[in-house]
Amino acid sequence: MHIVDGALAGPVLAVGAALAAAGVAYGLKKMDYDHLPQVGVLSAAFFVASYIHLPIGFSSVHLILNGLIGLALGWAAFPALLVALILQAVFFGFGGFLVLGVNTFNIALPAVLMYYVCRHGITASSPRIAGIWGAIGGAGAVTLTTLMVAGSLALSGEAFWLAAKATLIAHIPVMVVEGFVTAAAVLLIRQVKPEFLNIPEEWQDA
Amino acid sequence: MPQFLEHSGTSWKGQRLKHEQSLIDSLDPRLRVVAAFLFALVVVSSEQFLVLLIGLATSLLLARLAKLNFKRTLRRVIAMDMFMIFLIIMLPFTTPGEVLFSVAGLPASKEGLLHASKIALKANAVVLCLLSVVGTMSATTLGYSMARLRVPDKLVHLLLFTVRYLDVIGQEYKRMRRAMQARAFVLRTDRHTWRSIGYLIGMLLVHSLERSERIADAMKCRGYNGRFYLMDEMVLARQDYTFMVMGALFLAALTGLNFL
């Protein structure tokens, strides 16, 4: 999902950086100091979890999990993902420096959108329906991210259109896997620690 | 899964990676972050081949000066190249222009090939520079230097927290995976695998959250009042000024070369 430095056009980089900065600023404002350890530890957990490679036929995909990040953190997903991307770029050489803004925005905005779309769905009393909403959150976030990555490429020049389409097609298996995994994670968290997904404790009694 | 593809967070050693002290480490961390940013800016906005080649050569020199571990760096640079390889391969065929050669009836244009090689040069130059100039400092130092560069302190603290707990959570993940392996769990392409991994991630998050609650309590117990104090003093020394002047001249020359 990372775009490297040098591929995107200047205006795309600038707009991406500005939008990401706005998102991070808003996310930081919404996150008070008491939640700092929580967001930090979760950011680390996602960093580790997003490196799990799952086999698909002869190849493998790694999870992105931005849907689950969004469901758990809401707007704080912006700073959390920016931090993860900085660490990846600086210490692992993934992505680049100037594209940090675009990459953050492409991954974090779908996370926040899925938070708003699915946060009621995952509190449904039937586990089946909640699981379906979880799957929508996981698959939807990856789909949106892929669309935005393809869009950033397509905006940078007509020559990238084929690459943009290829990105879309290549990520279809990721969307499927991500949907199943997120649904399972949501169902487990609902059982074990409902307040984590901002679900009131009494939902089980209802 | 071949070993070399498992680069990454699960093998995150944080600050425990062996790294020899080098010339680069004697420079002020703030300066290194700013220099890497300016270098990336100049390289990415350049269009002349000569400039890009000089940029890549500079990055290679920096990597040498920073005494980067050759194998590790190569692995990372190749992993990054894998990200963009499809983009690079497709470009010559999608850019209209003078036909250079054709594969299976598809014409490849000279313009597209030039464009593709420019992207490859830029991406490699920036990543190598980043790994050697910024990647060689400890993550904590990076956080401090960001704070001194006026990055909002909440973001800096978030970074410091994340770095601190990456290793802890990574251990936790490995422990849970080992427990699954002990029960004969093998990754496959089926729903059972996906559900089990989903449960694993969910449990990892729950454990992490509970840990973070304990951390927050322990911090409050020691008088945490929503403020961190940066303990270090960063003062520019003589070699920093030398580097600043040389770097500025070099980047100006690099920018100037674009207009020749």
Confidence tier at A113 by pLDDT (50, 70, 90): very high
pTM of the predicted model as reported, rounded to 2 decimal places: 0.89
Whether A206 and A161 have beta carbons less than 8 Å apart is answered as: no
The answer as to whether A1 is a domain residue is no
Number of domains in chain A: 1
Is A44 a residue whose pLDDT tops 60? yes
Instruction: Summarize pLDDT for A129-188 with one digit per residue, the tens.
Output: 999 999 999 999 999 999 999 999 889 888 888 888 888 888 898 899 999 999 999 999
**Closest approach of A206 to chain B, Cα-based (Å):** 23
Question: Among B80, B122, B212, whose Cβ lies nearest the Cβ of A41?
Answer: B212
Q: Stretch A115-123: mean pLDDT, rounded?
A: 90
Render the burial of A65-103: b for 16+ CB within 10 Å, e for the rest: bbbbbbbbbbbbbbbbbbbbbbbbbbbbbbbbbbbbbbb
The answer as to whether A3 is a domain residue is no
Domain positions in chain B are 3-137+235-257, 152-221
The answer as to whether A85 is a domain residue is yes
**Closest approach of A106 to chain B, Cα-based (Å):** 16
The answer as to whether A165 is a domain residue is yes
The answer as to whether A5 is a domain residue is no
Question: Among A32, A42, A181, whose Cβ lies nearest the Cβ of B208?
Answer: A42
The answer as to whether A2 is a domain residue is no
Q: Which pLDDT does position B3 carry in this prediction? A: 35
**Closest approach of A27 to chain B, Cα-based (Å):** 10
Question: Residue A117 sits in a domain of what CATH number?
Answer: 1.10.1760.20
What range defines the domain where residue A193 resides? 10-204
Q: What share of chain A is helix, strand, coil (3-state, %, to 5)?
A: 75, 5, 20
Average pLDDT, consecutive stretches of 10 residues, N- to C-terminus, chain B (260 residues): 35 53 84 93 91 94 86 82 79 80 79 88 92 85 88 90 86 91 89 91 90 88 80 82 91 88
Instruction: Summarize pLDDT for B189-202 with one digit per residue, the tens.
Output: 888 999 999 999 99
CB contact under 8 A, A90 and B162: no
